Structure formats: C-alpha cells, structure tokens
Chain A
Amino acid sequence: MGFLTFKGGIHPDDGKCFSKDQPVQTILPKGDLVYPLSQHIGAPAQPLVKKGDHVLKGQMIASASGFVSAPVHASVSGTVKGLEQRFSPAGTKGECIVIENDGEYREAEYEPVKPLEEMSRDEILEKIGESGIVGMGGAGFPTRVKLSPKEPENIDYIIANCAECEPYITADYRRMLENTEELISGMRVVLSLFPNAKGIFAVEDNKKDCIDKLKSAVDDEPRMQVASLVTKYPQGAERQLIYAVTKRAINSSMLPADAGCIVDNVETLIGIHRAVIEGKPLTERIVTVSGDDIASPGNFKAPLGISHQELVDAAGGFITQPQKLISGGPMMGFAMVTVDAPVTKTSSSLLAFKGDEVAKSKETACINCARCVDVCPSRLVPSRLADLAQRHDEDGFVAMNGPECVECGSCSYVCPAKRQLKQAIGSMRKTALANKKKK
C-alpha cells in the first residue's frame, strides 16, 4: 500500500486491463516516416537534410537551434522526400521532414562510448542533448536543459515518474517490467550528474509487480529507492508527484530544481541510458494502442515518425468507425483530427473510442456542488475561475490564482453539470500568462 499522495484528485476507470498484459511488440514501418521539427518545447529543430538525400537510421536529420531545443534523428534508412506541412498528433500543422523507408534499416556509425565513470559532466550532458531526448511523458521539455540547473549540488532528489496515472496507458508499465535494468541504468547516469541526490522511483500502488521488481533491482543501489504512491489521478503531475514524494511544494513560478528535485519520466530515463551507455540517439518509443474500438489493444515499440494508422493496423484495426481518437491519455491527451499523424517523441498512446463521452454530455447550469473544488490538485475554485474566464475578466482570474492551474482536467471530469471547466480555465490561463510575459 502506498501512502504518499497529495490533496484532491480523482479515480477514473483506469482501462489499463485492455493492454496491461500485452508484451511490447516491435513494429516496422511500411509507409513514409514523418518527423515534425517541433516535437519539444522550445525552438524548432533546423533541418540538416534536403530532398533526395539518403539517410541512415540514427542519423541526425535536424539539429537543435538554440539552448532550449532538441535535434531529430531518422528512425529508418531511406531517402528524404522533402519538407512538408503535416498534421501533428495534437492537431496543428507544422513543418516535417518526410523520409521514404528503403526497408534496409542500415544504421549510422555511432561514436564509441566511454564508460560512465570516465565521462565528465559536460560530456554526459552533451551526449543527452545530441541524442534528442526530451521529456517523453508528454511535456517534451529538452532533457539536457532540465539536467543543467544552476547548482547541481543542491539537487536532493531525482524522481523517476513511474506513476503513469493517466487511464489506459501502459507504456511505462511495460517498460518498468521489461526494461528494468535500462531504467535503473538511466537513473545511474542522471545520479552521476548530481553528487548529493537520491534516486526515487515513484510508482502508483496499482502497479504492485513493478514496485516489487524495482525494489529487488535497487537492492544493491545505495542511492536509489522505490516509493509507493496512492493510485490517484493526477499523481504523475510534476508538482503533485514532487509533493507526494518529498512533501516539498512548488507553484507555477518555481521550477522543480527550486525544491531540489528533478523529475524524469520512465521513457526518458531509458532514452538517457541508450544515449549515454549505448551511444544511440532517440529513434523509438513505446506507444500503447488501446480503447474500446481497437481490436487487439497492445503496447508497441514504434519508430518515431511512423503513422498512427500503422499502429492501428498493428493492433488489429478498428472494430467499428471510431468517433474519437486521442493521442495521449484521456485526461490530458489531444483529440486527433486524422489518424495519419506521425508518432512523436511525446506520443505515449493512441486511444480509439466508439463513442465520445464529451459530445454525449449536455452542459447544464452550475449547481455549486463544490466537486471541482474538492478534486482540484492545485487547490483552486475551478467553477468560479471558469465563470471569470467566460466573462474575460483576466484580473479577477489572476486574483483567484487561475495561473496556478495545471490543466489536469479533474474539474471537468467530476462536474455533474458537465461544464467545460478546464477548457475555459486553460484558454484564459494562456492569455494571462502571455500578458504577464509582455509586462
């Protein structure tokens, strides 16, 4: 039983049973591969290839264009078809490098790796930066930047975000079971950057098998521990996770490093292991394909850039015409406009649903039931914030701490009046943050 938690939160049906017990299958792409230049927070990558170029698997095809940016690598060998405007899974169009797969999967020659003990701090960070690793839980913040706080000796905790609190997704769960060693190794690399830090694997207590497996694996790792968390959404939200594990609280104007913490997702840590220990760039990730409209849900090791359509095919196709496709989890993921969007560094899952609960629910008047207040992990008053947002009262919104919202969607989930609380608060929050920057 886990006791570590935060105040608020919800318990949606977790839907993990669909794909939980399906071992990871590798899929090879049949069609073209599409690589958005902007798969991360920060400046889009700069393309290094042009139409007609031949590229190898693992070759850098776009480079980081600033400190907060990340390069992109080809996940197959083939020919560059050009730069095109394509849909991202989030529904926006952006510039993408399109590569025709030659089916040979010839890999680029990687620089030989040095043992971890012989690498300097800068060499490790350089390696992580060059591998194109970003926060793969969904945020997409370049990992190299995250691992370069001003005073590394002040970092007390490296928290591996193994919560996976979003319903349906089991990608991290499979990683923890199938790639325990790589996960621990990734943590070892990160710990080598922070002399005073402890490594904590924070797992929700519905993943008992992962907790046991990780616990026995960290037995001979004096700097690592496993923490069992209460199963509750949004346990994996960065601020809530840090609080659950360390009882340190940060607000919207602070970084985890201000509380002596750095949080990295499971997939990210495995990417770090592959980059620093094996010397390979980021070219693949685990994606859960699930939902009530997928014939045989499962977890797939997908090359980045593969079309979601191929993931659907690999999972046996749709049962009927789905009404809603979601990239990411049902709580914070994006509704997709087309299934022909590429898997990116932050695509943790593809969910297909026969019906759309949101379209079915009809909005009625707020009855002031306070359910949104009771579940808000940021301890806000969502119904009042949404009222202010709908009236475009930005000052009132800021005065009621609207910018502290983490957009977890718990308020919209519980609302018996089916109000689109998170949508209203989220859009006003973006306006308020943008205006704050201007000042």
Chain B
Amino acid sequence: MNENYNVSSSPHIRDRIKSSNLMLMVVIGLLPATLFGIWNFRHENAWILVVVTTAAAVLSEYIYEKLMHKPITINDFSAVVTGLLLALNLPPTLPWWMGALGAVFAIIVVKQLFGGLGQNFMNPALAARCFLLICFAGRMTYFVYDGVTGPTPLAELKAGEAVNTMDMLIGNIRGTIGETSVIAIMIGAMFLILMGVIDLRIPGSYIVSFVVFIVIFGGHGFDPQYITAHLCGGGLMLGAWFMATDYVTSPITSSGKIIYGVCMGLLTGLFRLFGGSAEGVSYAIIISNLLVPLIEKITLPKPFGKGGEK
C-alpha cells in the first residue's frame, strides 16, 4: 500500500474563509454606495473616475510587484478595495488623471513601500485622498450636483444654514461620489456585519463618541435634527463603516478597537466643529491609524487565568 500520507502540525481543518473572500465581500459591500454614486452623479460622468481610479490601483500594484520580482497579489482584491474606496472619496468632477495619481500614491507609496498587504500603517485610500487634497485643494473641494456648484450640506450646516436631512439620507446632495447616500452605505454595512466581515466595536464607538462630542460642544445641545445632519453629512458614515474598520490599520485587540473608535469620534468632532474645514473624517481616521501601535500596547489582553477569563 502506498503510504505517502500528508503530515502537518494540527489543526488539520481550516475555516473556509480566505483573505481574498473578505476583500471581495468588502467590494460587494461598497457596491450599493458605488452604484448610487454613479447614478447620482451621472451628469458628471462619475463612472469614468470610479473605473479609472480602481483600475489604476490594481495596475500599479501589478506593475510594482512585477518590477520588484514579488509574487503578484492582485487576486486578493485588496487593491480593488483601495482603488474603489479612494474613488468614492473623490468629488465627481475631479479629472480622471488626478484619481489615477491618487491610486498610484495609495498603492505604491502608502502600501507597497511599507511592505505590501498588511504592513501599511495608514489607510492607503485615505492617505491618498489627503495627498490629493493638499495637491489639488481647489478641485478636491469643488462640488456639483445637477450641474449646480455649491457647498456641501455639511459646509452649509457649519455656516449655520438649514439643511434637508431627508435628502442627506437618500443622497441626492453635493458631496464625494460614494459618501452622499447614507441609505446605500448602510445597506452595504449591514451586509458586511451579517457576513461577519466587520462588527460594531469600531463604528459603534466612533459614532457614539462623535455624537457625545457634538452634543456637548456643538452648541445645539441634544438637537436630533442637528445630530442627524452631522451623522449623515460628509464622509462620516462611509468612513466609520468602511475605512475605520480596515483591518490592517485598526487595533487587533478588542478593547483597543473601542479606544480607537473613541479617538476617531473625538477627532472628527474637533475637526468639524473647531477646524477650518467642515470635513474631518479623513484626517481623524489617518491620525488615529498612527495611534494604533500605542493603543495596542496599552490594551494587550490579560491572559486566561490571570484576569482575562471574564
């Protein structure tokens, strides 16, 4: 009898989920927001920017790995996630080559130069967005809806004007391609929660601490209308559900996730209420990304039998 059995260390069974499945599920979770954005900004041809940015991310990963003689990892869908997330964070009128430049920056500088998947210390899509904001401040803050240029509802809110929260929920407002429709974002987020890809620890603590902050410092007290406008405006929902939850740049420890969420909530509140711009989510997240190693250090769990069992 042939006795060439496989020998390996236990365990001998593995869960079916692979990293690439998880990334693919994130892509699927982003689809409602993406499709809504493409439809919402159909007059601005937003679809071109989405396609070019995503393709540029995947292509730059492929070319970099090819040139560096590294294994090609574009099949893991992580570059697709980065490219798509970046596209959803861009105003629909941005020239396509700026989107592509951002994608190349995200993949090459933020991800690959630090060692590729799992090694980047900052969310690549958000780092690229901030990079583009610095390079092309005008184009990055130029918002159009139905051919009409103007401020985003969040900027109007900051200026003390009244906003239509129902429109902000549905998404037929000015903003970046993927951030306008809270409903579309929540459909995708619900999908990710049900599939076990993300959980409430980070988005929950982020949103709750943000609300607490604006209730205390917003000057409107506990005003449901004001709070809803803040929650639905800008990139908060897209950021909290899809970018703050990025595995690589969030803490690995359970209590660390809560602290990380609170950091983002407080920073977002600080930037939105007291900063120069109406927006604050991108900077809040990438600054919190930098705090992750420290957060992990202080939240190292106690082992079982030494207090960690409870």
* B306, A404: Cβ atoms closer than 8 Å: yes
Kindly specify which of B38-46, B143-151, B235-243, B244-252 makes contact with the partner chain: B244-252
What chain B residues lie within 8 Å of A384 (beta carbons)? 252
* A416, B305: Cβ atoms closer than 8 Å: no
What chain B residues lie within 8 Å of A380 (beta carbons)? 301, 303
**Which 9 residue pairs of A and B lie closest in terms of their CB atoms, listed nearest first?**
A251-B305, A409-B11, A379-B308, A423-B9, A249-B309, A404-B303, A365-B118, A356-B6, A335-B7
* Chain B interface extent, by class: 35 or more
Q: Max chain B CB contacts within 10 Å: which of A325, A339, A401?
A: A401
Besides A251-B306, A422-B10, 6 other CB < 8 A contacts?
Answer: A251-B305, A331-B10, A364-B18, A404-B306, A416-B15, A417-B19
Contact code string A129-171 (vs B, CB < 8 Å = 1, else 0): 0000000000000000000000000000000000000010000
* B11, A324: Cβ atoms closer than 8 Å: no
Contact residues of A between 359 and 408, Cβ < 8 Å to B: 359, 361, 364-370, 373-374, 377-381, 383-384, 400-401, 404, 407
* A418, B252: Cβ atoms closer than 8 Å: no
* B13, A331: Cβ atoms closer than 8 Å: yes
What chain A residues lie within 8 Å of B15 (beta carbons)? 10, 12, 413-416
- Tell which of B13, B22, B76, B309 touches A243, judged by Cβ atoms closer than 8 Å: B309
* A369, B5: Cβ atoms closer than 8 Å: no
A325-B5, A368-B252 known; A332 and B10 CB under 8 Å? yes
What chain B residues lie within 8 Å of A404 (beta carbons)? 303-306
A365-B117, A370-B252 known; A324 and B13 CB under 8 Å? no
* B303, A335: Cβ atoms closer than 8 Å: no
Q: B164 interface residue, CB < 8 Å from A?
A: no
By beta carbon, the residue of chain B nearest A10 is: B15
For this complex, 5 residue pairs linking A to B, each with C-beta atoms less than 8 Å apart, are A323-B6, A365-B118, A381-B300, A423-B8, A423-B9
A321-B2, A367-B248, A368-B118 known; A358 and B303 CB under 8 Å? no
The dominant DSSP class at the A interface is loop
Inter-chain CA distance A10–B5, complex, in Å, is: 27
- Tell which of B6, B250, B251 touches A358, judged by Cβ atoms closer than 8 Å: B6
* A365, B116: Cβ atoms closer than 8 Å: yes
By beta carbon, the residue of chain A nearest B302 is: A379
A325-B5, A379-B308 known; A416 and B17 CB under 8 Å? yes
* B118, A373: Cβ atoms closer than 8 Å: no
What chain A residues lie within 8 Å of B116 (beta carbons)? 365
Residues of B within 8 A of A (CB): 1-3, 5-15, 17-22, 73, 76, 78, 116-119, 247-254, 257, 300-306, 308-310
Residues of A within 8 A of B (CB): 6-7, 10, 12-13, 91, 167, 239-240, 243, 249-252, 254, 321-326, 330-339, 351, 353, 356-359, 361, 364-370, 373-374, 377-381, 383-384, 400-401, 404, 407, 409-410, 412-418, 420, 422-423, 426
Inter-chain CA distance A416–B308, complex, in Å, is: 25
What chain B residues lie within 8 Å of A413 (beta carbons)? 11, 13-15
* A333, B10: Cβ atoms closer than 8 Å: yes
A339-B3, A404-B303 known; A358 and B17 CB under 8 Å? no
What chain B residues lie within 8 Å of A358 (beta carbons)? 6, 8, 12, 14
Inter-chain CA distance A384–B253, complex, in Å, is: 11
By beta carbon, the residue of chain A nearest B17 is: A416
* B11, A335: Cβ atoms closer than 8 Å: no
By beta carbon, the residue of chain B nearest A11 is: B15
Q: Max chain A CB contacts within 10 Å: which of B15, B22, B117, B119?
A: B15
